Amino acid sequence: MTDTTPSTDPATRRATRNVTVLVLAQAILGAQMPMIFTIGGLAGQSLATNLCFATLPISLIVLGSMLSATPLSWVMQRFGRRAGFFLGAAGGALGGAICVAGLYLASFPVFLLGSLCTGLYMSAQGFYRFAAADTASDAFRPKAISYVMAGGLASAIIGPQLVKLSTGAIDHPSALVASFAGAYLLVIVLNVLGSLMFLFLDIPRPPVPSQDAPRGRTRLELLATPRIAVAVICAMVSYALMNLVMTSTPLAVVGCGFETGDAADVVTAHVLAMFAPSFFTGHLIARFGVERIMGAGLAILAAAGAVALSGVELEHFFIALILLGLGWNFGFIGATTMLAGAHAPHERGRMQGLNDLIVFGGVTVASLASGGLMNCSGGTPEAGWTAVNLAMAPFLALAGGALIWLALRPRDPQAA
């Protein structure tokens, strides 16, 4: 029998190559998300006739992601990951172009349409983590997911810095165009150039199931599985609360007397905290177990809310948003790892699409609530910021209760 080592094993080489491509995609294509989350609410605040709808562009991105999750999952199941990722990049480029048109026309509806199209890219990016697991061994899977998420570390630096470089780069009499159009033009460039990396992706297209192939569980049966249910709940809560607070952060920072550049720096620190721990999150999961890491993530999210409620100085924003990113990382990567090991390969398309539909449904509600809480609660930025962070409590209780319930259940041998 031929002796194979990790460096010569074809399966290991394929998995490593795919993870490398997805890390680069997360770094380059993913830079558009911190860019848009930094300026989307500020642009919306300038375009909307009612300040309560300032964060509606962010909400439409998440809504677009939610609506496209299931059909995009079907495309990947039928035609392969590469086709789905190219489609997502096309949606991101189209969304950026429409947003530029909305800024030039000073049209909030057109700008919202561009945001909705951008949701197709956000949905595709959400599948990078699942794609990393497709060709990874059981032992490598949590690390592969973590490494791909760690690619966001570069996007955390690239995105907000591109916002700073593009602000005022276009000489135009409209302050709206001068402030924001350059960033959206760069979004188009990122999608066009970054999508070329998917040419190097090597993930086999799922085989067409034969008549006698196992059909797998229905969606309701999948959701009734305890580990799947808890994974979906914790993923939804981690992502929704992160989005709830992050969406309002630029508005809160500027509203409390700081500059747009300060808001970009806070978002940079936040996104760094979201992805930097990914270098070791997989190792922590392997060492301590996925349930403990998810629980730690929920506890850190609670700590982020406590810091945010303690004051509105710039250091409070930095510390709270760093904790928010770290808590999201542990909670979301832990939930993804739990979910990836709780369904069969032939259930992948059904379950992953359903998961992201539910997760981004929760994120859509959170982003919609964020603008209303921030701008329409109490009449001051400080009061709005307090309302945003108090809203975290019931959802943390829901996710924490679900995790405790799972821990107290007898272990199902088949679930292992």
- Higher pLDDT: 233 or 154? It is 233
Cβ atoms within 10 Å of 312's Cβ, excluding its own? 19
Rounded CA separation 174/176 (Å): 5
> Residue 38 above 60 pLDDT?
yes
Q: What is the mean pLDDT of the chain?
A: 86
Question: pLDDT tens digits, residue range 287-314?
Answer: 999 999 999 999 999 999 999 999 999 9
In CATH, 11-203+218-408 is 1.20.1250.20: yes
Please report the pLDDT score of residue 207 as a whole number.
66
Does the pLDDT at position 128 exceed 60?
A: yes
* Nearest to 402, CA basis, from 294, 245, 266: 294
Beta carbons within 10 angstroms of residue 399's beta carbon: 25
Closest CA to 38 of 144, 146, 171, 183: 183
Sequence ranges of the domains in the chain: 11-203+218-408
List, for residues 384-409, the tens digit of each pLDDT value: 999 999 999 999 999 999 999 998 88
